[in-house]
Amino acid sequence: MPLPSEPLRKLGFLTIGLFEAADPRRGHESTLDVIELGERLGFDSAWVRHRHLQYGISSPVAVLAAASQRTSHIELGTAVIPLGWENPLRLAEDLATVDVLSGGRVNPGVSVGPPMHYDQVRQALYPDTAGAEDFSYERVRRLLDFVRGEPATDFSGAEGFEVFSDRVQPHSEGLGRRMWYGGGSLRSARWAGEHAMNFLTSSVVKAEESEDFAEIQLSHVRMFRAHHPEGDRARVSQGLVVIPTDSASSEQRAKYAEYVRKRMPRTASPQGPARMMFAPDLLGTSAEIAEQLYSLAAFREIDEVAFALPFTFDHEDYVQILSDLATKLGPELGWQPKR
Mean pLDDT of the chain, nearest integer: 96
- Quick one: pLDDT at residue 3? 58
> Which among 246, 336, 235 is positioned nearest to 11, based on CA atoms?
336
Report whether pLDDT(288) > 90.
yes
- Quick one: pLDDT at residue 6? 82
pTM of the model: 0.96
pLDDT band at 56 (very low <50, low <70, confident <90, very high): very high
Is beta strand 180-182 parallel, antiparallel or unpaired with respect to 106-111? Answer: parallel
pLDDT band at 1 (very low <50, low <70, confident <90, very high): very low
Architecture of domain 10-332: Alpha-Beta Barrel (3.20)
Q: What is the pLDDT of residues 289-327, one digit of tens each?
A: 999 999 999 999 999 999 999 999 999 999 999 999 999
> Which among 324, 323, 336, 337 is positioned nearest to 284, based on CA atoms?
324
- What residue spans define the domains of the chain? 10-332
| CA contacts within 13 A on the Cβ side of 305 | 26
Q: What is the pLDDT of residues 178-217, one digit of tens each?
A: 999 999 999 999 999 999 999 999 999 999 989 999 999 9
